[in-house]
Structure 1
Amino acid sequence: MSTPFGSEERTHASGAGALGEAGLKVDIDERDDLLVATVRGVLDFFSAGPVQERLNTALNHGANKLVLDLDAVTFVDSTGLALLVSIQRRLQSEGGWLRLARPHEQLRRVLHTTNLDGYFAVYASADEAAAS
């Protein structure tokens, strides 16, 4: 079931220009007592703030469980990682959880390099993450 939060698309230019123009899209669906957010694009300094605002708005309506489907996130920088940690901490403090589904290979490498792969629960699909 879609929430009233729907989806939002934002276009931004990446800082170094190496990535050029990258679109960011977030779709949020409510499933029983949890939210499933599908994020597409680049999660970096330019997009992390709007993504955090969007997720906080959705979570402020009572959900404390969130699955982030990250298969279509093609790049994550330190600001994007900080966003994930911030969401995890918020949800844990509210008795909930954050689960990552289908992280793109680049994100998997970054999580491993930063030793955050043990901090986040990672699943092969959003359905698997939601059911666990």
Structure 2
Amino acid sequence: MVTATDGIRVVALAGEIDHHTADTLRHALDATDESCPRVVVDMGKVTFMDSSGINIFIAAHRALSEAGGWLRLAAPTENVMRTMSIVGLDGFVDCRASLSQALGD
């Protein structure tokens, strides 16, 4: 589900992020919407993420940065955070403990 809050696009995810869901996620994070280049992804209900998700978040981070915005990942579950830490995504993309923290400055 995609909503907007104070000029920030919020993408709420649930379930698994893998090659089956990659196209849907890629479309939701598309940086071509220049009116809203700031994106928060609520990951509180994501149970699994493979390299498809990692690659999509890296590409979205780059595209949004080039558009003058940013990408923040909010409330990743323990399993997903472990995956992000292993590959170093959490050092590249801004990860916040909660959705409210990700929406703040």
TM-score by length of 1: 0.74
Residues 90-129 of structure 1 aligned to structure 2 (within 5 Å): 90-129=63-102
1:32 aligned residue = 6
Counterpart amino acid of residue 48 in structure 1: A
Deviation at 1:125, TM superposition (A): 1.3
Greater fraction of residues in strand:
1
Name the SS for the 2:90 alignment partner: coil
Greater fraction of residues in helix:
2
Name the SS for the 2:24 alignment partner: helix
1:47 aligned residue = 21
Deviation at 1:62, TM superposition (A): 1.6
* Uncovered stretches (5+) of structure 1, i.e. residues with no partner: 1-26
Are the equivalent residues in 1 in contact too, given 2:11–2:28 (CA < 8 A)?
Answer: no
Are the equivalent residues in 2 in contact too, given 1:101–1:124 (CA < 8 A)?
Answer: yes
RMSD of equivalent CA atoms: 1.5
Separation in 1, partners of 2:13, 2:27: 14
Name the SS for the 1:84 alignment partner: helix
Separation in 2, partners of 1:55, 1:89: 11
Task: State which structure, 1 or 2, has the greater radius of gyration over its C-alpha atoms.
Answer: 1
Q: How many residues align?
A: 105
* Uncovered stretches (5+) of structure 2, i.e. residues with no partner: none
Greater RCO, CA 8 A, separation 6+: 2
Are the equivalent residues in 1 in contact too, given 2:2–2:28 (CA < 8 A)?
Answer: no
Deviation at 1:41, TM superposition (A): 0.8
TM-score by length of 2: 0.92
Name the SS for the 1:56 alignment partner: coil
Separation in 2, partners of 1:39, 1:28: 9
Deviation at 1:44, TM superposition (A): 0.3
State the identity %: 30
